[in-house]
Structure 1
Amino acid sequence: MKTFTNLALSAMAALASLAILPSASSAQSTMAYPEKCKSQGMDMSKADMSMNGMPTGEMTDYQKASMNGMKDMHMNMMQGMMKKDADVSFVCGMIAHHMGAISMSEVELEYGDNDEAKQMAKKVIEAQKKEIEEMSKWVDKEAK
Structure 2
Amino acid sequence: MTLMRTGLVAVLLSASSLAPALAQQGQSGSMSDMKGMDMKGADVKTMNPMQKESMAAMDKMNKAMMEGMMDADPDVAWLKSMAAHHQGAVDMSEIALKHIKDENVRKEARKAMEENEKSIKEVKMMIKKEKQ
- Establish whether TM, by shorter chain, passes 0.5: yes
Is 1:8 paired with 2:34? Answer: no
Instruction: Map Cα deviations across residues 94-128 of structure 1 (whole Å, 9 max, x no partner).
Output: 11110111112112101111100100110111111
Question: What is the count of residue pairs matched by the alignment?
Answer: 113
Is 1:74 paired with 2:62? Answer: yes
Query: Could you state the TM-score of these two structures normalised by the residue count of structure 2?
Result: 0.73
**What is the match of residue 28 of structure 1?**
none
Q: Counterparts of 1:122 and 1:109 in 2: how far apart (Å)?
A: 8
CA contact (8 A) 2:75 2:130 kept: no
Is 1:107 paired with 2:118? Answer: no
Query: Could you state the TM-score of these two structures normalised by the residue count of structure 1?
Result: 0.67
**What is the match of residue 48 of structure 1?**
28
| Ranges in structure 2 where 5+ consecutive residues have no aligned partner | 1-11, 36-41
Evaluate the alpha carbon distance shift between residue 92 and residue 114 of structure 1 in structure 2; reply closer, same or farther with a 3 A threshold.
same
| Residue of 124, 130, 136 corresponding to 2:112 | 124
Evaluate the alpha carbon distance shift between residue 13 and residue 125 of structure 1 in structure 2; reply closer, same or farther with a 3 A threshold.
farther
**What is the match of residue 94 of structure 1?**
82
Q: Counterparts of 1:121 and 1:130 in 2: how far apart (Å)?
A: 14
CA contact (8 A) 2:29 2:63 kept: no
Q: Counterparts of 2:13 and 2:123 in 1: how far apart (Å)?
A: 29
